[in-house]
Chains A and B, each alone.
Chain A
């Protein structure tokens, strides 16, 4: 029986029927990781021993009839999720040797659910990047074409799920970091509403934008994982105390669902193949009985500029704690200030430094009003665009990325080109809305494409239902990447 590349639901059925044990599963995944990770570089740390131990515990739980939906399922964690006793690098040298003494809330919930942790997944340094090329642990390669990037910053998570190196993975999304790599790797990636999932134990990039979410083989799996990790957490003051809807039994039903197509998302620079695929996907929803109409989100064009003030501003403050005093890298200097300088000069890569400088500038006395404050005002306008749009429609359908996966090195020296990769994903972060990437076919060259669905705050159930209905109807085959 081929165990890798299955959905969580398939694996659940095998486990519950006793056809395989979690230990069997984990061994199969570890074998696959051993074979493919050297070429894909999806994992920074593989915790084989820990995984087997967790698998055996899960098996005991399954045998005693205490299994939950995720018990015994092997998953990977983006390496900015704090894991007790397992080093957490954030893709950066500055956290060299950092082994956290605690679990983040989401990690603790998965642990309680009995999920098995295979290891920590590669990512752009501090989640800053759209290609996974800023990782201090080397780039991740796209399983569909190892000369191409997997997207970022959750590139390791997307590549691992696409290549069958984990049944599911967690990523984080600040400006598209779950949805964009999901699109480029051909998997489902869900960014929940801001406040839906606790950020306690998520190493902060931009606190007002960051959100943890699942990357999975299909839509239904995303619902399973989200249900397990979502919900109020008293340790995160920005987590919202709202009940989590049941997400494990989605109905593929979209009759009468109002689907908005924003005209501002079909612009110059959008790859014609991607545009055609997205329009075909919208057509599928229409065929299923959804009402499709055009909507306008007039401030879309300001979103990237707004994001590149707010996110770096928050990051400049969030990353101040990496000073060589308490943990991680320390490069001793002549005195305290010199130690700070040398440590941070050696510990951070160029993209992180660029954003710290941008953010520091934007918050400086005399510039604050012109940059940070103005950006917050524009952010409110972007959110208002969505609020109006969601008075007319239930979901919005649009491209996730302007292009399919690009080549390694193609944009790494041109930050502006790189930043434009997130042009369609950033607005949902600014507005705090849930969004999902759904695979919608392949280019002529065989690269995956995805389209994005967005919904109003806390409407993950509608979002997943629409995505699920599309997925069922479109019958997109999930060919496994040939892996070089």
Chain B
């Protein structure tokens, strides 16, 4: 029987606000444990939450970028459960009335065309703290770090529209790209700024009803996401084909073994006893606020890709690559503004700039030692014939190593192309005079030796001669000889 997998994703994204969602503490990652806490985020008796407006503003940006409907009236609710990293014994989240609903975003489907993945809802909530387990073997305690408690999150819940591990990864990639473009999330999956849970079920192809699903928690890389989904679908299919049944449960992905393992069954699932948080009034969104956010919205990745193709005449693949981050796209456009050959700029960025960055562990392009201005200046020198394309590579490496502008590099290293024909002519004569046997052989019909003579001349100029001029002169001299 042919089977189809059905996947819906729940993505938690940490918002990049300066302060936490319900108090004024810094929301930055990586500080000393419990150094960014106050009575509110520590859940001390008597402390009360106050909503950070920036969190709502960032969520509105996401609404506009994912085609969501903004609820004019939404509520916070308490999700009640006990855990040591949850200082109040409940998490403030949204439940019945989330702020955003009914959105979508586009991915490339199995047939290569565009496919819409529905977004059921997006809601705001606070993060929990973190448990630190001592490394001492046999230690009978754990420590709690509440720096992360109360850091703002949005949870983005997709419709069960995803049909393959690849599509799932593509959806997360697109979503991540949008969030990073908007500047509302750093998208860092290692540090947990973006966390993915997946609901997975399978059904015979053609069936419209959904099968029993399992939820896989904490898939924190694209690789794990794809692996876990592939494994889980296969596990469910095996079960069904051998007369078994899929049990609705929460599962964990074992990254070592590449398999999913049961974590808790439906019966053991928490009853979170959600109810509206009486400490927080409803969130009421004024349409004028949405308009202001819209006006400040940056160009989104899909729009940029389209524009890069239309305006800069780039092939789809180049546009796709250059638009994967806003900084990269900005880098490209800054260079193109100075050097009006988009394809050449794109080639240099993709071929050299990104290669060098990757060698250094892929830091953001804003940290590249070669600025867009320097890259454009170097390409100008090539266009004006002051350096050859080959020399340009030397210039680029030098700029990368020293951060100096191209003119300075060319000057200091004496890399300017020799365009003076008489100087080249003299060198050609010299080379021919030094190699009489080869001259004879050439004239006898061994024309392949042309490259040898050109190479000798180029070496003598340390590559600075215009290769075309050398070529022409060598040919002339050899042809004109006896």
* Residues of chain A at the chain B interface (Cβ within 8 Å): 80-82, 88, 90, 95, 98, 100-102, 104, 199-204, 206-208, 234-238, 313-314, 316-317, 319-323, 325-327, 336, 340, 360, 363-365, 368, 372
Contacts and interface: CB of A to CB of B under 8 A. Distances in A.
A331 to B, nearest CB: 15
6 contacts: A81-B46, A101-B39, A202-B46, A317-B89, A320-B90, A325-B87
- Scoring B47, B80, B144, B280 by chain A CB atoms within 10 A of each residue's CB, the highest score goes to B47
Contact of A203 (B42, B45, B278): B45
B254 interface: no
A12 B274 CA distance: 50
A237 B275 contact: no
Contacts of A340: 82
B273 A237 contact: no
A237 B51 contact: yes
B321 interface: no
Contacts of B280: 237-238
A327 B44 contact: yes
Given A317-B90, A360-B273, A95 B45 contact: yes
A199 B48 contact: yes
Majority-rule SS of A interface residues = loop
Contacts of A207: 278-279
B102 to A, nearest CB: 25
Contacts of B281: 237-238
B278 A100 contact: no
Interface string B264-277: 00000001011100
A364 B273 contact: yes
A237 B49 CA distance: 7
Interface in B29-75: 39, 42-51
Contact of A326 (B43, B46, B47): B43
- Scoring B44, B45, B90, B273 by chain A CB atoms within 10 A of each residue's CB, the highest score goes to B45
Interface in B309-346: none
B88 interface: yes
Contacts of A199: 46, 48
B46 A320 contact: no
A313 B90 CA distance: 13
A98 B45 contact: yes
B400 to A, nearest CB: 52
B84 interface: yes
Interface string B63-105: 0000000000000001010101001111000000000000000
Contact of A365 (B47, B50, B87, B273): B273
B279 A100 contact: no
Contacts of A320: 80, 82, 88-90
B232 to A, nearest CB: 27
B44 A100 contact: yes
Contacts of B47: 102, 200-201
Chain B: interface residue count, which band? 20 to 34
B51 to A, nearest CB: 7
A206 B39 CA distance: 19
B39 A363 contact: no
Given A207-B278, A321-B87, A336-B84, A235 B50 contact: yes
Contacts of A101: 39, 44
A102 B39 contact: yes
B335 to A, nearest CB: 48
A201 B42 CA distance: 14
A363 B48 CA distance: 21
Contact of B80 (A201, A363, A372): A363
Given A321-B88, A327-B44, A363 B273 contact: yes
Given A102-B39, A235-B50, A313 B45 contact: no
Contacts of A236: 48, 50
B275 to A, nearest CB: 5
A314 B278 CA distance: 8
A372 B278 CA distance: 13
A98 B89 CA distance: 18
A104 to B, nearest CB: 6
A317 B275 contact: yes
A207 B281 CA distance: 12
B82 A363 contact: no
Contact of A364 (B43, B48, B271): B271
B39 A372 contact: no
A203 B50 CA distance: 16
Given A314-B278, A320-B88, A320-B90, A104 B273 contact: no
